């Protein structure tokens, strides 16, 4: 390694003081401290390993106003969300941290490590290693999870006629960004709820596992419903039609932002709900869940045959205009 923070002993001290404590014993034969970790995967020998990585860069995936506790929670939650979308159980993760020298202090690192510990504890996954370097602030996490063989839900299993669902209200992520960016708020709104949706999105771990028995395809909504549903379309070779009036949006977001919020729910990112498809004969099961406490779980459309050309998303029967698809996070 060429660069450390600021010299090798301090890097070791950081790892020792802030990260070593996050290794739980479950399945960890050898944790942080050696050249590599050793995992005991013999406890569930028939399971498949599921691996996902996500990197968060300052000013792209979180604003520079974010505190270290929030950054850590968001980094771990978005990685857990990928594991949830596969219907997998999270087990272990590694952390690659690039840290500016000015942040290599007790208060920043303590906040970061406690944010990480809280989420790791809740979802029963442990930190098993990583890398610490000096540089622009960026956090890369690789999450390892497991599933019974062949039971993971991919993006590629949707069929013509399957119904499309989302696990909860959309548009919160984009609304939270608007609050973070200091845009005017006219009505009373629970900005605390929105900020927590942004910094600590709820990974749908248990719900994802429940979907293994019913969903033909699944994805977590990080880039926006239309963009992510399009991934299902392309991988599955079928198109999708969304009834926009069925897309769930929280009342406070709707009354605050009016017309904007529908656009946010369709094209805004950072919601981390699951979008999944269900064959018609299994929809009764899913519909019974929404009566059963999952109130924002909603059927929003149906997969359709792709006649010619590329599989794509239609909104109320109309093809989506290309320039509407992207979503600009923090400008730049
Ligand atoms: P090496 O130079 O052999 O790669 P390092 O000095 O980078 O070793 O790391 C020493 C130990 O600390 C390794 O076990 C590594 O996995 C762990 N480690 C380094 N950085 C982190 C981090 N940010 N989080 C958790 N573990 C880390
Ligand atoms: Mg290293």
Nearest CA to ligand 1 atom 5: 131
Would you say 15 and 5 are in contact if contact means Cβ atoms under 8 Å apart?
no
Ligand nearest to the CA of 120: 1
Residue 33 Cβ < 6 Å to ligand 1: yes
- Model confidence band, residue 330 (pLDDT cutoffs 50, 70, 90): very low
Q: Is 31 in the pocket of ligand 1 (CB under 6 A)?
A: no
Total structural domains in the chain?
Answer: 2
pLDDT digits (tens, 9 = 90+) for 84-135: 999 999 999 999 999 999 999 999 999 999 999 999 999 999 999 999 999 9
Tell me the percentage of the chain whose pLDDT exceeds 90: 75
Give a yes or no: residue 152 inside a domain.
Answer: no
Residue 1 forms part of a structural domain: no
What is the 88 CA–ligand 1 centroid distance (Å)?
Answer: 26
Query: Quick one: pLDDT at residue 326?
Result: 52
Same domain, 68 and 174: no
Q: Is 210 exposed, middle or buried (0-12, 13-18, 19+ CB in 10 A)?
A: middle
For ligand 1, atom 10, the nearest C-alpha belongs to 33
The reply to whether 249 falls in a domain is yes
Among candidate residues 93, 92, 89, 117, the one with its CA nearest the CA of residue 17 = 117
Same-domain check for residues 171 and 316: yes
Q: Clarify whether residues 36 and 120 are in a common domain.
A: yes
Centre of ligand 2 to C-alpha 94, Å, is 11
pLDDT confidence tier of residue 328, bands split at 50, 70 and 90: very low
Assigned domain for 156 exists: no
pLDDT tops 80 at residue 283 = yes
Does a structural domain hold residue 304? yes
- 24 and 116 inside one domain: yes
Residue to mutate, 127, 129, 138, ligand 1, most ligand atoms under 8 Å from C-beta: 129
By percentage, how much of the chain surpasses pLDDT 70?
91
Domain C-terminal end among 92, 117, 147: 147
What is the span of the domain harbouring residue 132? 8-147
Question: Which strand (E) or helix (H) includes residue 127?
Answer: strand 126-134
Domain membership flag for residue 251? yes
**What is the bridge-based pairing of β-strands 313-315 and 239-242?**
parallel
Q: Would you state the pLDDT for residue 59?
A: 93
**At residue 4, does pLDDT exceed 70?**
no
Based on the fold, state whether residues 254 and 313 are members of the same structural domain: yes
Within this chain, do residues 141 and 174 fall inside the same structural domain, yes or no?
no
Rounded to the nearest whole angstrom, what is the distance from the C-alpha of residue 227 to the centroid of ligand 2? 35
pLDDT at 190 over 80: no
Same domain, 30 and 120: yes
pLDDT, one tens digit per residue, over 24-65 is: 878 999 999 999 999 988 767 789 999 999 999 999 999 999
Q: Are residues 20 and 134 in the same domain?
A: yes
**Is residue 172 situated within a structural domain?**
yes
Q: Which of 147, 172, 198 is the last residue of a domain?
A: 147
Average pLDDT over residues 200-213: 96
CA of 132 to the centre of ligand 1 (A): 7
**Predicted confidence band of residue 188 (pLDDT cuts 50, 70, 90):** low
CA distance 181 to 72: 20
The average pLDDT across 211-238 equals: 97
Q: Which helix (H) or strand (E) holds 140?
A: strand 138-147
| Confidence bin at 308 (pLDDT 50/70/90) | confident
Do 226 and 123 reside in the same domain of the chain? no
Mean pLDDT of the chain: 90
Among 147, 177, 204, the domain-final residue is 147
Both 194 and 265 in one domain: the answer is yes
Residue closest by Cα to atom 4 of ligand 1: 35
What pLDDT was estimated at residue 331? 41
Query: Which protein residue's CA is at the shortest distance from atom 9 of ligand 1?
Result: 131
Q: Quick one: pLDDT band at residue 252, thresholds 50, 70, 90?
A: confident
What number does the ligand 1 atom closest to the CA of 32 have?
14
Residue with tokens 């698809």: 325
Does residue 233 lie in a domain region?
A: yes
- Pocket lining: 1 vs ligand 1, CB cutoff 6 Å: yes
The answer to whether residues 317 and 176 belong to one domain is: yes
Query: Which CATH number belongs to the domain containing residue 84 in this structure?
Result: 3.30.1330.10
What band does 324 get if pLDDT is binned at 50, 70 and 90?
low
Centroid of ligand 2 to alpha carbon of 50 (angstroms): 23
CA dihedral (95, 98, 104, 109) in degrees, to 10, reads: -30
């Amino acid at each position: 390694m060429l660069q450390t923070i600021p010299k090798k002993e301090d890097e070791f001290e950081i790892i020792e003081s802030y990260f070593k404590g996050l290794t739980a014993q479950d399945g960890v034969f050898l944790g942080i401290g050696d050249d590599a970790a050793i995992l005991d995967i013999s406890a569930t020998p028939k399971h498949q390993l599921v691996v996902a990585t996500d990197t968060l860069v300052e000013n792209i995936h979180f604003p520079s106003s974010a505190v270290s506790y929030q950054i850590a929670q968001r980094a771990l939650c978005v990685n857990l969300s990928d594991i949830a979308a596969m219907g997998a159980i999270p087990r272990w993760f590694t952390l690659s941290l690039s840290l500016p020298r000015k942040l290599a202090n007790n208060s920043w690192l303590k906040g970061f490590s406690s944010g990480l510990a809280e989420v790791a504890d809740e979802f029963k996954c442990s930190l098993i290693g990583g890398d610490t370097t000096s540089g622009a602030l960026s956090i890369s996490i690789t999450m390892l999870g497991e599933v019974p063989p062949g039971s993971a839900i991919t993006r590629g299993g949707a069929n013509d006629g399957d119904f499309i669902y989302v696990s909860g209200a959309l548009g919160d992520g984009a609304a939270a960004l608007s609050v973070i960016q200091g845009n005017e708020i006219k009505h009373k709104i629970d900005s605390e709820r929105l900020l927590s949706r942004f910094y600590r999105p709820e990974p749908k771990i248990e719900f994802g596992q429940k979907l293994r028995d019913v969903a033909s395809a699944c994805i977590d909504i990080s880039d926006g419903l239309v963009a992510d549903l399009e991934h299902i379309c392309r991988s599955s070779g079928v198109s999708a039609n969304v009834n926009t009036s069925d897309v769930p949006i929280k009342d406070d977001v709707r009354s605050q932002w009016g017309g904007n919020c529908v656009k946010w729910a369709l094209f805004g990112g950072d919601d981390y709900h699951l979008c999944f498809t269900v064959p018609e004969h299994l929809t009764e099961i899913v519909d019974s869940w929404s009566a059963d406490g999952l109130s924002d779980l909603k059927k929003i459309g149906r997969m359709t045959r792709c006649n010619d050309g590329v599989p794509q998303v239609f909104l109320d029967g109309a093809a989506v205009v290309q320039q509407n698809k992207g979503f600009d996070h923090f400008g730049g």
